[in-house]
């Protein structure tokens, strides 16, 4: 969650690594190869949605794709996730993810499969022998399975994929036939109906800096975890829906359960009178704050139509991490065992604000759970950075929906004392970036255009586009691909209404460029401008409306003068001859009651 990523990882893992890493036997590490793979992203033309005889449709739905075999891992109304197999055994990270529109037609797919030319000899390692070759004790092992592992785009080797857990941190490790580790990663990132009853509670909304509209300091500061009248004035009284049983109120509902599973092992508060009114110096305030904001963001995404995200009750320790300044989402198999953990403040340890006091921290970590519902693979450095940035956006959108005060700073409350938070703006150019193991280095390059869109096309529209894009992520998705997916989602769900704004916004940060416009995969509207190069050199320009169209066409100079205008009546195309235009840049506006789109044309 925080900028000191390498320090965070060291704090969580150093002692453990010190104990066991010297006993690991490492072969050539293929993490670099896996982390640099790029998916083949393909969009299906809207015009073939209903043509179920098309080759793409038949291949994708038969689970055979260009001669490759797949096994379905997960299917929802929004997507299917298939794992490539060889001899009915999964190939590690080789997946095919297919996304559907509301009618169930395919709109795009991410092909992360490989072309198998060589299968290396060797036996599959056995789980029972792992403790003999490493210091992973049997008691730490969660599960294992045979896997083929790609060491290139054409060669696979027999391996054992194994999950193990130390404390609250879960790892995935891959052993080759010689029981040497070739891949290792930490997975920690950061439907029963429960009868509920309304209870009174007091929370930060979203944090005391925002409601007081001040800079950090004085009485509006951590002050060793103490409370005072000024900071308590920033608490907001709200109602929470929580479990009520035998006269006792519990911090539990269908979406979230506050649970104590890690040090400092503080009891979860309950109430007999329906009041959860604490101040920040009392055990209970952070629990209530996390409970409320997780319930709130879940209700929000449900209203957007994403009820399949985190469709289980997630357990949350709001006073965890042994008092360290960390927070994590801990994914698990099955998904319903996943947990959230927020760092408590223990007097005498490192001075830091309890993470669960800041709604942006709470929502950021919960967004990892949302993403995990749709894409539980994070193979590349860029994909991990993209996920952190997506989580930052959802957090900032949530908080800015309450108040736009100082929206540019992420974690306005928590980002003090021990670290400085992050920023929601950027002056970077995507094409100049290199993505390292630190997933926060360049997260600003993704959240910045999303916040631009937040203010230009609106919170709800941007939120839904972001969530729809999340459903199409796979383990190797790049930011460039995510931007193209967002354009596709806008064309599918909004009839291209925001496509020009989206394209120009991502272009500002070099994530997209004019070269993408020549790609059949990208459309800025249902209209197509044909022969623009011919028009530039003295020929004709053709506007293809895609269907019968009635509306107004206006062509402007760059200073706003109308150079040409006409009304189109029930026509599919319009032709414009460049001989009537001087050399220069023009803006062509296509408008009727349902459409208002502007595009650029050039005459040499």
CB 119 within 8 A of CB 86: yes
What average pLDDT does this structure show over 455-477? 96
The kind and range of the H/E element at 314 are: strand 314-320
Residue 29 has a pLDDT of 60
Q: Could you read off the pLDDT of 299-312 as tens digits, one per residue?
A: 999 999 999 999 99
CATH code assigned to 381-518? 1.10.390.10
Sheet containing strand 327-330, strands side by side: 256-258, 314-320, 339-343, 327-330
CATH code assigned to 528-603? 2.60.40.3080
CB 30 within 8 A of CB 149: yes
Give the class (CATH, top level) of 196-374. alpha beta
Nearest in space to 411 (alpha carbons), one of 459, 451, 367, 359: 359
Proportion of the chain above pLDDT 70, given as a percent: 88
Nearest in space to 378 (alpha carbons), one of 148, 172, 75, 562: 172
Residue 15 has a pLDDT of 32
CB 135 within 8 A of CB 172: no
Residues 6+ apart with CB under 8 A from 250: 242, 243, 244, 268, 270
Q: How sure is the predictor about 14, in pLDDT bands with cuts at 50, 70 and 90?
A: very low
Q: Could you read off the pLDDT of 131-164 as tens digits, one per residue?
A: 988 878 888 899 999 999 999 889 999 999 999 8
What average pLDDT does this structure show over 248-254? 97
pLDDT(596) > 80: no
Q: How sure is the predictor about 62, in pLDDT bands with cuts at 50, 70 and 90?
A: low
What average pLDDT does this structure show over 510-525? 72
Which is more confidently placed, 447 or 169?
447
Q: What is the 3-state secondary structure (H, E, C) of 411-460?
A: CCCCCCCCCCCEECCCCCCHHHCCCCCCCCCCCHHHHHHHHHHHHHHCHH
Give the chain's mean pLDDT: 87
CB 479 within 8 A of CB 445: yes
Count of positions (residues) in the chain: 604
What average pLDDT does this structure show over 457-461? 95
At 551 the three-state DSSP class reads: strand
Residues 6+ apart with CB under 8 A from 434: none
Residue 191 has a pLDDT of 45
Nearest in space to 556 (alpha carbons), one of 527, 507, 590, 529: 590
Tell me how far apart the alpha carbons of residues 221 and 208 are, in angstroms, rounded to a whole number. 9
Tokens 């509902």 sit on residue: 253
Q: How sure is the predictor about 490, in pLDDT bands with cuts at 50, 70 and 90?
A: very high
At 292 the three-state DSSP class reads: helix
At 407 the three-state DSSP class reads: coil
As to burial, measured by CB atoms within 10 angstroms (0-12 exposed, 13-18 middle, 19+ buried), residue 145 is: middle
pLDDT(23) > 90: no
pLDDT(389) > 80: yes
Q: For the chain, give every domain's residue range.
A: 19-34+119-186, 38-111, 196-374, 381-518, 528-603
At 569 the three-state DSSP class reads: strand
Q: State the first-to-last Cα distance of the chain, in angstroms, to the nearest integer.
A: 51
* Per-residue burial over 551-583, b = 16 or more CB atoms within 10 Å of its CB, e = otherwise: bebbbbeeeeeeeeeeebeeeeebebebeebee
Nearest in space to 426 (alpha carbons), one of 391, 381, 389: 389
Which is more confidently placed, 48 or 453?
453
Strands 540-557 and 256-258: unpaired
pLDDT(64) > 70: no
Instruction: Work out the number of other CB atoms within 10 angstroms of the CB of residue 157.
Output: 21
Q: How sure is the predictor about 27, in pLDDT bands with cuts at 50, 70 and 90?
A: low
pLDDT(518) > 80: no
Helix axes 381-402, 285-303, angle to 10 degrees: 100
C-alpha distance from residue 108 to each of 86, 94, 382, 486, 503 (Å): 24, 17, 21, 11, 18
pLDDT(21) > 50: no
Residue 16 has a pLDDT of 34
Residue 511 has a pLDDT of 97
At 61 the three-state DSSP class reads: helix
Residue 185 has a pLDDT of 84
pLDDT(6) > 70: no
Q: Are the folds of 38-111 and 381-518 the same?
A: no
Global confidence as pTM: 0.75
Any idea of the CA torsion for 70, 75, 80, 83, to the nearest 10 degrees?
A: -30
Q: Could you read off the pLDDT of 563-585 as tens digits, one per residue?
A: 999 999 988 889 988 888 899 88
Residue 61 has a pLDDT of 53
CB 357 within 8 A of CB 368: no
Residue 515, both tokens: 């070269």
CB 353 within 8 A of CB 227: no
Nearest in space to 589 (alpha carbons), one of 572, 580, 601: 601
Most confident of the ranges 103-112, 332-341, 448-457, 509-518? 448-457
Q: Could you read off the pLDDT of 200-217 as tens digits, one per residue?
A: 999 999 999 999 999 999
Tokens 């035998």 sit on residue: 246
CB 578 within 8 A of CB 603: yes
Q: Which CATH architecture has domain 38-111?
A: 2-Layer Sandwich (3.30)
Q: How many CA atoms lie within 13 A of 584 on its CB side?
A: 13
Nearest in space to 30 (alpha carbons), one of 176, 186, 188: 176
What average pLDDT does this structure show over 81-98? 93
pLDDT(419) > 90: yes
The answer to whether the peptide bond before residue 362 is cis (omega within 30 degrees of 0) is no
For 592, left (φ over 0), alpha (ψ -120 to 50), or beta? beta
């Amino acid at each position: 969650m925080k900028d000191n990523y390498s320090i965070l990882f060291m704090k969580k893992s150093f002692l453990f690594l010190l104990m066991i890493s010297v006993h690991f036997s490492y072969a050539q590490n293929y993490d670099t190869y896996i982390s640099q793979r790029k998916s083949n992203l393909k969009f299906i033309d809207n015009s073939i949605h209903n043509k179920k005889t098309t080759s793409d449709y038949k291949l994708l739905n038969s689970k055979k794709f260009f001669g490759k075999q797949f096994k379905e891992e997960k299917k929802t109304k929004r997507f299917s996730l298939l794992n490539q197999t060889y001899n009915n055994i999964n190939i590690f990270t080789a997946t095919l993810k297919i996304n559907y529109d509301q009618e169930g037609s395919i709109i795009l797919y991410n092909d992360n499969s490989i072309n198998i030319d060589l299968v290396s000899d060797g036996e599959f390692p056995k789980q029972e022998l792992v403790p003999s070759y490493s210091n992973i004790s049997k008691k730490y092992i969660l599960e294992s399975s045979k896997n083929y592992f790609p060491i290139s785009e054409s060669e696979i080797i027999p391996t054992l994929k194994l999950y193990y857990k130390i404390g609250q941190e879960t790892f995935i490790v891959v052993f080759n036939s010689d029981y040497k580790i070739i891949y290792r990663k930490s997975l920690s990132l950061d439907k029963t109906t429960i009868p509920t009853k309304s209870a009174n509670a007091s929370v930060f909304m979203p944090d005391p800096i925002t409601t007081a509209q001040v800079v950090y300091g004085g009485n509006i500061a951590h002050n060793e975890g103490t409370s005072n009248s000024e900071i308590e004035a920033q608490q907001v009284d709200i109602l929470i829906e929580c479990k009520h049983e035998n006269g006792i109120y519990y911090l539990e509902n269908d979406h979230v359960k506050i649970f104590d599973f890690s040090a400092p092992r503080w009891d979860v508060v309950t109430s007999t009178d329906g009041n959860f009114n604490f101040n920040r110096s009392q055990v209970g305030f952070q629990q209530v704050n996390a409970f409320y904001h997780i319930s709130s963001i879940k209700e929000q995404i449900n209203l957007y139509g994403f009820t399949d995200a985190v469709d289980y009750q997630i357990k949350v320790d709001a006073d965890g991490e042994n008092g360290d300044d960390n927070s994590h989402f801990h994914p698990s198999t099955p998904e319903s065992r996943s947990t959230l953990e927020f760092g408590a403040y223990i007097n005498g340890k490192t001075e830091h604000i309890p993470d669960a006091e800041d709604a942006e921290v709470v929502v950021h970590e919960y967004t990892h759970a949302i993403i995990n519902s749709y894409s539980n693979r994070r193979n590349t450095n860029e994909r991990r950075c993209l996920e952190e940035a997506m989580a930052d956006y959802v957090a900032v959108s949530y908080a800015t929906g309450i108040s736009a005060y100082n929206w540019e700073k992420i974690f306005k409350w928590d980002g003090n004392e021990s670290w400085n938070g992050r920023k929601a703006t950027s002056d970077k150019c995507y094409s100049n970036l290199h993505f390292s193991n630190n997933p926060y280095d360049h997260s600003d390059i993704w959240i910045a255009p999303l916040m631009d869109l937040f203010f230009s096309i609106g919170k709800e529209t941007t939120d839904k586009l972001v969530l729809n894009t999340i459903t199409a992520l796979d383990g190797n998705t790049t930011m460039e691909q995510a931007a193209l997916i967002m354009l596709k989602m806008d064309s599918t769900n909004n009839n291209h209404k925001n496509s020009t704004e989206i394209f120009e916004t991502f272009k500002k940060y070099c994530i997209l460029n004019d070269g993408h416009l020549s790609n059949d995969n990208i459309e800025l509207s249902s209209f197509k401008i044909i022969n623009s190069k011919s028009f530039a050199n003295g020929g004709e320009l053709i506007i293809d409306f895609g269907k019968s169209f009635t509306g107004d066409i206006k062509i402007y100079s760059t200073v706003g003068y109308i150079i040409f205008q006409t009304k189109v009546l029930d026509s599919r195309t319009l032709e414009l001859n460049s001989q009537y235009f001087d050399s220069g840049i023009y803006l062509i506006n296509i408008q009727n009651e349902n459409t208002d789109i502007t595009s650029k044309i050039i005459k040499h």
